[in-house]
Amino acid sequence: MENTLEDLAHSLNMTTTEEGTTFDALLTEAGVLEVVCSNNDEFPIHIAKTEAQLLAVTPLFNVSEVQEGKADELNAVMLQLSPAIPLSSIGLQEGNYILFGAMAVNTKFENIVHELEVQAENTLEVLDAIESLLV
Amino acid sequence: MSILRDMFTALRGAGSDIGESIIDANAVRILEQEIRDAEDAIGKARQSLTRLKGNEIKLKRAVNSLEADVADYEVKAMEALDADEQDLAAKVAERIAELETERDEKSTEHKKLSDEVESINSMIKNRNKIIQKNKRELEKIKTIKELQKTTTSISSNIAATGSNQHRVKKALERVKAKQERWRDNMEAGEWMAVEDGTDDLDRELKDAGIGSPASKGNSVLERLKAKQAGQSAG
């Protein structure tokens, strides 16, 4: 099943997971789908699509939000956390630390939902873990 | 060569900004051009392959038929020898020699053709490899491009929150508070469900006339009636 981001937004807005998570999905002008998961509505997931992949990106914080002199420690911790987070990786994109997951464009809808739900949860866990290194 | 190496170079040069340099540089066009060239080459190769393969099959068939003829004449030559027809046998042997020469020629030609088919096939495979590799590279570029799109909205998001001071901490607190409330509500919901359950049981008991105030009232009334009846009798 390969759908447009609009289709995905529509399906997400109609969905409630077994854990009771709901989604608020909106297609932005930039062509990026912004998804707010009810289990973490402070850090929305941005979904972009290429020919082969769906990219789910959650912005965590900007480099400028890291405490002075703590960047190296933070980077080392983030690299070590990354393999421990199911379905998501940690990345740095133009000065923003991000959590991201990549899926094949033909990923089943239920699996997309699961991935988003887990990513929203992972975001909280990662931020909770490294919070003390931020301003 | 590889987009990741280009990224590395750009990152070292410009600090943290990958920028448009790699993305909009000729990289995409070059990769797409290479894909088109390879696809054209494969298209042409496939056409000549069809023709060559046709010839190859024809030659193979000719070789087989010549071999059958040789075998056939060999049997006949033996029969001639058995019948002591020496001249005839010699003529047949000559024919066999001619057939064998022709067979060898065709066979060599066939070998040459099938080698050619082989090499065209491996050329197609190589071109396909280039196409797949370039497509993967293009996918990387597009991934970076799409990531940049998400980043644009990220930056404006973070900027929109105004003061960066404790932004993450505050957001985390809000989410945690919300989750706490949600858990409380859930527990409250479960407690209510338990209470409702008790009410149901009471109702059932009452319906059955067990332990309910109504039945108590009835028995009191009965007792009083009995008492009254006793008094008027006495």
Indicate which CATH number applies to the domain containing A47. 3.30.1460.10
Distance CA B179, CA B185 (A): 10
Cβ B46 vs Cβ B117: under 8 Å: no
As a whole-number percent, the residues of chain B with pLDDT over 90 amount to 35
Return the closest-CA partner of residue A49 out of A6, A98, A5: A5
pLDDT-derived band at B157 (thresholds 50, 70, 90) equals low
**Sheet-wide strand order for A33-37:** A23-27, A33-37, A40-49, A53-62, A96-104, A89-93
What residue has token string 């900027």?
B159
Ranking A27-41, A48-62, B147-161, B218-232 by mean pLDDT, the lowest is B147-161
Average pLDDT over residues A111-132: 93
Residue to mutate among A42, A119, A122, with most B CBs inside 10 A, is A42
Contacts of B188 (CB under 8 A, 6+ apart): none
Average pLDDT over residues B36-64: 92
DSSP secondary structure letter of residue A15: -
Q: Which two tokens stand for residue B181?
A: 């409330």
The DSSP bridge pattern shows strands A33-37 and A23-27 to be antiparallel
Average pLDDT over residues B82-88: 92
Residues found in chain B: 234
Which residue among B18, B139, B157 sits closest to A59, beta carbon to beta carbon?
B157
- pLDDT tens digits for B163-219? 567 888 888 999 888 888 878 887 787 777 766 666 677 777 777 777 655 556 677
Q: Which two tokens stand for residue B148?
A: 């940049």
Question: Is it the case that residue B2 has pLDDT exceeding 90?
Answer: no
Residue to mutate among A63, A103, A134, with most B CBs inside 10 A, is A134
Q: Which domain holds residue A98?
A: 5-133
Question: Is it the case that residue B159 has pLDDT exceeding 60?
Answer: no
CB atoms within 10 A of CB B74: 14
Q: Hey, are the CB atoms on B157 and A127 less than 8 Å from each other?
A: no
**How many domains is chain A partitioned into structurally?**
1
Question: Is it the case that residue B9 has pLDDT exceeding 70?
Answer: yes
Question: Is it the case that residue B18 has pLDDT exceeding 70?
Answer: no
Cα–Cα separations (whole angstroms), residue A22 to A5, A114, A116, B154, B182:
17, 11, 11, 22, 14
pLDDT of residue B233: 65
As a whole-number percent, the residues of chain A with pLDDT over 90 amount to 76
Q: Hey, are the CB atoms on A98 and B149 less than 8 Å from each other?
A: no
pLDDT of residue A11: 94
ipTM of the complex: 0.81
Which residue among B147, B164, B174 sits closest to A42, beta carbon to beta carbon?
B174
pLDDT of residue B188: 80
